[in-house]
Structure 1
Amino acid sequence: MKKLSWFNKVVFACNIVVTVLTFVAYILPFLAPKMFPLLSVLTLILPLFLILNGLFFIYWLLQLKRQVMLSGLILLLGITFINKFYKFSSNDIEKEEKDFTVMSYNVRLFNLFDWIKGRNVGETILTFINEQNPDILCIQEYSENAKVDLRVYKYKAIFMEGNHIKTGQAIFSKFPIFNQGDFKIPEAGNNIIFADIKKGKDTIRVYNIHLQSIKISPDVNEIEEHVEAINQSKSQQVFTRIRDAFKKQEQQAEILVNHKKECHYPLIICGDMNNSPFSYIYRNIKGNMHDCFEEAGKGFGQTYRFKYYPARIDYIFADKKMKVKSFSSFSQFENSDHFPIMTRLSFIE
């Protein structure tokens, strides 16, 4: 440290702070948010910490300084986290007749309230779904008031609430649904529904989840416009809102995990988790299932339309009894604040 210039001493001090925060973020997926609700916010920006550590690593490496070991070690420890953020290669296995496809899509009420101007968004979404033709379709923020006709699906499980505008979630299937239900979770926004589906000789339970939103604007410009006006009180309100959302998500996740323990069928879990793949919520719900993006995706796998940051908060998890043969995130299809995702699966014989 003594041999460093004053500038490098400042850089190394910043390096230490970032490294400590990164290490804390590594631990948080193993700790329930109710224990450290405000610290859990760090899991949302873990990719930023990984990028900063990468820059520090390059900076010290170019100078052949031993300080390179600090960020090098933290990056080595977090190599599994990097795989959740970015996939360098995809795994697209040849299609077979036994395969089936599953799509998850938060459609934002099919643009019922005209958030996107000048387009017939509902019909565009319907055309897209018909073109992709998934065998099982899980929709979050579904509303029959939008009058989008999905009659191609013979079987459906739809659960909605509301007085004038009914909204909720839906599971559509080309295979018979013989059992269905939803979770009534008090004081928590959104919901979880499920359907038991018969595919030939196999039975599948599909969960469609939409966890409590943390209500962060998808437009960074909107955040920047309010930066100057923000004060300590408003900042505290933002953290309080995120803290409370994480607590409610934890409650929803625990109910789901306990419910699926009683199921003896192979599982598929789809939906909008409103949380990152570095979170306790993600780890708890995923359990030992496949994250279909990690198995067969490529790139960032962005599922939420957030400027300058490729957020992945929508997931499809598949049972270990299934093989993930392909995965797609349609980030070019901007007809909601979320992007549709789809996977192709088959049972392991």
Structure 2
Amino acid sequence: MRRFKLPRLHLPPLNVSRLNWAYLLVLLLVWALGEWMAERTLPTLLLAYVPPVLLAWPAPILLLLVLLRLVRRGDVRGLFPALLSCGAALFYLGFTWHSAEPPQSSDFKLLTYNIARGRLGNVERLSNQIRAANADIITLQETNGVRWPFTDELLAKVPGYFVSRSGTLGAEVITLSRFPVVSTREVSLPNTTRRFLVTRLKTPQGELTLINLHLSTVMLSKVLDGEAMTTRDNRQQQLEILQREAAAISGPLIVAGDFNTPPRGRIYRALTAELSDAWDTAGRGFGYTFMASWPVLRIDHVLSRGSAAVKLSAVSTEVQPAGGSDHRALLVVLRFTRQQTQLP
């Protein structure tokens, strides 16, 4: 009986060097669209919310292919673009690394945490995690719990803080502070029940203003309903209101919370043009805070600026372990430093 043989397929040799250059070009194009087109069109608006790892994973595979060719054949072609691609992928992933600084007396801790209305964790678990951070200032978002007494039960288990909240019942953001509260006010936002919570605190280094916020997000359901661009316009209005509030504050300022904004695009660039991002200044790693079980996006931020008299900067920024929320908390150590006066 005659055996049937499959014909051999003569495939062209894999040009790894060209693949690396092509991948690098695609990665740079995606980055440029996310940075400069960003919220202007629906595709680039949605692109901002694509987890960076989905675009970065080919880089190590292409580098591995180049290294295999190098070991087997001594062929170094493609090594340079492969290394460039890996560097670009790390940059796109948002990787940063800053060495820790020794503590000083003017340091204080701030914890920002979206607790997801208590849907994913009980009061005991959340309160344990918040207390363990031992923060001097805590900004909480989505505190309007799924059941009415949830928020009050949580606050009762985190004693020793002055409490400021937006509204009375159903407060969406709450600020806790060990420093005395000078004043608290709400800033209403158009087309939403969300508000900014502006709190002035009396610290040993002087007054500090804190804005606790939770910006609107572009959800898949809104995209399917054709409302994505409406949400984009609402977010732009929220940004403009935030910029006006920040411009009216003369002293040191911290803006913290769930921005629902990855570190790219027009909104993020506008914010970091005026304020310093704690993760960029003092973070180590990728800084992803969402989703808690498998973090792939950095959308929770702590931004700050000092004044003519005092510098305010982050010296340590850490993403906390997963707890009772779909977000991970962000713990930041900030430092006041007196500015030296220049004599004429």
TM range (shorter): 0.7 to 0.9
1:41 lines up with 2:46 in the alignment: yes
The whole-number CA distance in structure 2 between the counterparts of 1:235 and 1:57 is: 39
Letter aligned with residue 134 of structure 2: N
Q: How does 1:1-349 map to 2 (within 5 A)?
A: 6=12, 8=14, 12=18, 16=22, 19-20=25-26, 22-31=28-37, 33=39, 35-45=40-50, 46-56=52-62, 58-59=64-65, 63=69, 64=75, 80-82=91-93, 84=94, 86-87=95-96, 89-111=97-119, 115-116=120-121, 121-143=122-144, 145-146=149-150, 147=152, 148-150=154-156, 152-160=159-167, 166-188=170-192, 190-215=194-219, 237=224, 240-305=226-291, 308-319=294-305, 321-331=311-321, 333-349=322-338
Query: CA 1:77/1:149 → structure 2, altered by over 3 Å: closer, same or farther?
Result: closer
Supply the RMSD in Å over aligned alpha carbons.
Answer: 3.4
Q: What SS does the aligned partner of 2:286 have?
A: coil
Query: CA 1:48/1:94 → structure 2, altered by over 3 Å: closer, same or farther?
Result: same
The whole-number CA distance in structure 2 between the counterparts of 1:101 and 1:149 is: 18
Letter aligned with residue 343 of structure 1: V
Query: CA 1:284/1:52 → structure 2, altered by over 3 Å: closer, same or farther?
Result: farther
The whole-number CA distance in structure 2 between the counterparts of 1:314 and 1:304 is: 8
CA deviation profile, 1:40-97 (whole Å, cap 9, x unmatched): 2222334432333454455456555766666665666677544x3x23x443222222
The whole-number CA distance in structure 2 between the counterparts of 1:108 and 1:313 is: 14
The whole-number CA distance in structure 1 between the counterparts of 2:303 and 2:140 is: 15
CA deviation profile, 1:215-247 (whole Å, cap 9, x unmatched): 36xxxxxxxxxxxxxxxxx99617x45544333
Tell me the residue number matched to 1:219: none
Q: What SS does the aligned partner of 2:297 have?
A: coil
The whole-number CA distance in structure 2 between the counterparts of 1:41 and 1:58 is: 31
- Cα deviation for residue 139 of structure 1 reads 0.6
CA deviation profile, 1:90-130 (whole Å, cap 9, x unmatched): 4322222221111101112234xxx45xxxx1122223322
Tell me the residue number matched to 1:228: none
Letter aligned with residue 26 of structure 1: A
Q: What SS does the aligned partner of 2:123 have?
A: helix
Is residue 211–residue 274 contact of structure 1 (8 Å, CA) maintained in 2? yes
Is residue 156–residue 170 contact of structure 1 (8 Å, CA) maintained in 2? yes
Identity rate, percent: 20
TM-score (norm 2): 0.76
Runs of 4+ in 1 over 6 A off after TM superposition: none
Query: CA 1:182/1:91 → structure 2, altered by over 3 Å: closer, same or farther?
Result: farther
Is residue 190–residue 210 contact of structure 1 (8 Å, CA) maintained in 2? yes
The whole-number CA distance in structure 1 between the counterparts of 2:238 and 2:13 is: 48
Choose 1 or 2 for highest CA Rg: 2
User: Which ranges of structure 1 fall in alignment gaps of 5 or more residues?
Assistant: 217-233
Query: CA 1:22/1:245 → structure 2, altered by over 3 Å: closer, same or farther?
Result: farther
The whole-number CA distance in structure 2 between the counterparts of 1:68 and 1:188 is: 52
TM-score (norm 1): 0.76
Query: CA 1:172/1:17 → structure 2, altered by over 3 Å: closer, same or farther?
Result: same
How many residues of Structure 1 are paired with residues of Structure 2 in the alignment? 313
Q: What SS does the aligned partner of 2:31 have?
A: helix
The whole-number CA distance in structure 2 between the counterparts of 1:130 and 1:307 is: 21
